[in-house]
C-alpha cells in the first residue's frame, strides 16, 4: 500500500511538473515576443556583395509549440532578374528545461544553424540569437542573428559571422515589411 501511495505521489508530481513546463512556453516573455512575427512578410536585403529581395512567412505549427518560418530570397541586381536564389526553413521552439528560445535554421546549401536566445531588450523589441553549433561549417565559426522589431509592421534582421571566436562581421542586413492581405485597408 505504501508503494502504491508513493508511486501515485510521484506520478502526480510529474504530471504537475509537465503541465507547468508546457505552459511556460506560452507565458514566457521571450516566446510572447516572437508572436509578433506571425504572418507574411516582404523584404529588402543588403549583403556584403549584393542586394536582393525576399518573402517570408511565420506560422505556428504542431499545437502552436513551434513557430515555422519559410524564407525565399533572391540576391542580384534588377538587370539580373534571376539572381542567386536561396531558400531556408526555420523553427523557433521553447526549451522548457533551459528556459530559452531555440532557433534552428535549415538552409538549402546544407548549413544548419542551432541558435539560442542570448539576450532580449527590456522593451522586448530586440532579440539576439547566437549559434551553439553550425553543421557543415568548419569548427570555430559562430553566427549571430538579431531581430529588431521597429513597429507593428516592420522589423530589421541582422546576420553576422565570426570565424574562430573573433569579432563578428555583418554579412546581411534585412528590412522586412508585413504583407497586407486583401481586405486589410484599415488605417490607424
Residue 14, domain member (yes or no): no
14-35 residue pLDDT tens: 444 443 333 334 678 899 999 9
How far is it, in rounded angstroms, from Cα 166 to Cα 152?
Answer: 35
111-132 residue pLDDT tens: 999 999 999 999 999 999 999 9
Structural domain of residue 87, as residue ranges?
29-178
Q: What is the pTM of this model?
A: 0.80
CATH number at 130 reads 2.40.128.20
Residue 11, domain member (yes or no): no
Residue 7, domain member (yes or no): no
For the chain, what is the domain count?
1
Residue 21, domain member (yes or no): no
Residue 149, domain member (yes or no): yes
Residue 153, domain member (yes or no): yes
Residue 3, domain member (yes or no): no
Amino acid at each position: 500500500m505504501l508503494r502504491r501511495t508513493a508511486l501515485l505521489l510521484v506520478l502526480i508530481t510529474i504530471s504537475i511538473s509537465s503541465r507547468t513546463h508546457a505552459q511556460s512556453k506560452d507565458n514566457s516573455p521571450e516566446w510572447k515576443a516572437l508572436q509578433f512575427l506571425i504572418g507574411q512578410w516582404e523584404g529588402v536585403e543588403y549583403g556584403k556583395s549584393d542586394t536582393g529581395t525576399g518573402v517570408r512567412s511565420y506560422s505556428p505549427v504542431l499545437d502552436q509549440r513551434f513557430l515555422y518560418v519559410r524564407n525565399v530570397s533572391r540576391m542580384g541586381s534588377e538587370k539580373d532578374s534571376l539572381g542567386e536564389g536561396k531558400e531556408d526553413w526555420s523553427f523557433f521552439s521553447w526549451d522548457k528545461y533551459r528556459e530559452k528560445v531555440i532557433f534552428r535554421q535549415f538552409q538549402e546549401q546544407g548549413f544548419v544553424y542551432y541558435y539560442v536566445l542570448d539576450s532580449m531588450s527590456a522593451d522586448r523589441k530586440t532579440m539576439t540569437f547566437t549559434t551553439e553549433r553550425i553543421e557543415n561549417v568548419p569548427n570555430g565559426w559562430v553566427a549571430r542573428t538579431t531581430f529588431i522589431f521597429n513597429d507593428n509592421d516592420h522589423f530589421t534582421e541582422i546576420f553576422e559571422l565570426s570565424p574562430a571566436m573573433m569579432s563578428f562581421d555583418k554579412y546581411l542586413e534585412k528590412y522586412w515589411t508585413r504583407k497586407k492581405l486583401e481586405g486589410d485597408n484599415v488605417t490607424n
